[in-house]
Structure 1
Amino acid sequence: MLPSVILLDTEALDRLDKRADFTAWLAVAIEELRTDVPILLLCKAGDDLSGLVRPTAIVDREIPDDTLFATACDLQRSLMRSEEARIRRMSFGRVPGYGSAPHHKGTSGLLIVGMGGRLLQVQQASQRNVEIVGAFDQQMGEDYLAQRAFDAVILDDTFDENLENLRRIRMDARFAALPVLAVAEQASDIPTLFRAGASDVLRLPLQETNLSIRLSTAIRFGKRRRLADKVLAESHKWLREQLNTGGVPQVFYARYSERAGAALAKRGLEIWEMKLLPENFSTPDDATLLAPDLYGTVLSIADATSREEDLVCFVHDVGPIAVLKSERGKARLQARINAILGHTRL
């Protein structure tokens, strides 16, 4: 059975008599898995992180249990979003002349916000191919984030400033999933920063090798997230353009369904297809008379309320369809559409 996440704890690894043997065994076991599984590593500031399997994410061991569970779920969803982006690119191709939003453009970048004075230490610990930009305060940081892409952000200020800066970043939908690492002077501040949305918390003092691996892990994850965001945004534009030409060709849709189904099958899941026909939902008796295009209305509601990795499109000679990645997702979307149709004058 495919695990949802692989959780490693350096504290437990340090108690092993033959840590290298276990790491070698684990690397082989991961290689034999049918598909990507998130690897989450728990550590503290001074832990030796060398010689381990490459993790998807690293977090401080003081992360609260509820936040740890949410982080594992987010990592799994992120891998599935990247998988979905790859499938759509292979199935639908590119949009000629498609640009991208400023926060998707640029080389690999790391933004440091705050006056904590650790810019030089971060520069020494980071990879040479990563551009590091410093911002004195949150306003300057927001300006930078709007101008170009960053794969990760470090908040290096007082606890109160870091907490406020973190809150403002997470309020912006563009950066809701951006890896944000917050510096903490006190161990008691770590749970609060995690619950406020920090991807990882860097406990002072920072040890260079430990910091280097945590930075490279966050940047690698952020780069993968950014690429998936860009591809899914381009795909969404292409799908909307097909409405003007009679819908997505059936051969394209069949190609997508086959690939998406095969990818989910490796995870022990299956795709759930929902036909977005008005008769399949709870519509008011006079809805058909009031709405000039009820089919388009249902399609628009589904497009606005579904997750990015769920495909919503109009298929030529078939009609509007949503392809969900779980039965729960199908039930949730059905409930949302019913609620909006039942309480909105069309």
Structure 2
Amino acid sequence: MKVDMSAGQPQQAAATNSRKWLYPTLLAIVYTFWFSYMFIANRWELFQEYWPVSLTMTIGSFVAGATAEGGAAVAFPVFTKVLQIPSTDARTFGLMIQAVGMTMAGVMIYAQRVRTLPRVIGWVSLGGIFGQLIGTYLFTIPNPYPKILFTFVATAFGVAMVISRWLIHWEPRSELPNWDNRYRALFLLCGVLGGSFAAQTGSGIDMLTFIVLTLAFGINEKISTPTTVVIMGLNSVVGFFLHGVVSQDIGIAWNYWLVAVPIVILGAPFGAYVASKVNRDGIIKFLLFLIGLELVTTLWLIPFNNLTQIVITATAVAICGALFWLMLNYRKNNVPMGDV
């Protein structure tokens, strides 16, 4: 009996075509609403007043789409250290702008059929909802600790990448084997912890997930990066909703958002596209440069002359070191060398 293999081809072609037009269609919709609002409200003067925000997000949006750090990884340190914007406003802006930019990057990832880990995305995002609620309403970090903790989490992220790429000589994996309730619990916890941190600084759930995927499981950065981009985009939507609809405390961040939206809906998807084409070492080296710059500026601009600051920072570093050891030990005992 001969089977007609061409029967499903029209459906496959239609699906491919719909993916192709998904991003341009959403881009046109967002630009239409943005232009309409700017013309009706006559808010063009915002660009003259807040042009540093637009300039920052030109770089930040590319980083958001191309790496596992998120746009807030650029916006938060620049806003708080250079522009002297309060941490709360920088955090809120980061969530708002990522809700648009990184979501659009996620659409580009989907349209380009870039490999991701859907189950990881689902369970981390579920935990991230609870994390955003905890970090927004139950447990908040006072200044200047968000700046300090953000720097050292980013630094831990950089250390994790160095260890994963150059100190552990295993071939990267493309999948998590034997998915079961242990994985569900682990990535749900990642979401809760990462979402709580993202609620303070605008970023973090993506970095934590990336660290676990690469250090504990040896997942290829070319797969873990787009996975975390989608996660951060979804978590940012949750944060945007909490601040914009529930708390209604966006304030001045709305003006920052208006001058950045037309940039990030192009920059973040472009970053995602570039990341899918370049080799993994290129992504890692670019990230390490940004993280090194973040660490240097924090040590330079924020004096550690308070005993409490020193103790909290040392504790955070110790916890990161312990987590690294646990993940590396798990990988050593559970990930066969050369397993791809």
Does TM-score exceed 0.5, indicating one fold? no
- Higher fraction of helix: 2
Q: 1 or 2 for the larger relative contact order (CA 8 Å, sep ≥6)?
A: 2
- Higher fraction of strand: 1
Q: Structure 1 length normalisation: TM-score?
A: 0.25
Give the number of the structure whose alpha-carbon radius of gyration is greater. 1
Q: Structure 2 length normalisation: TM-score?
A: 0.25
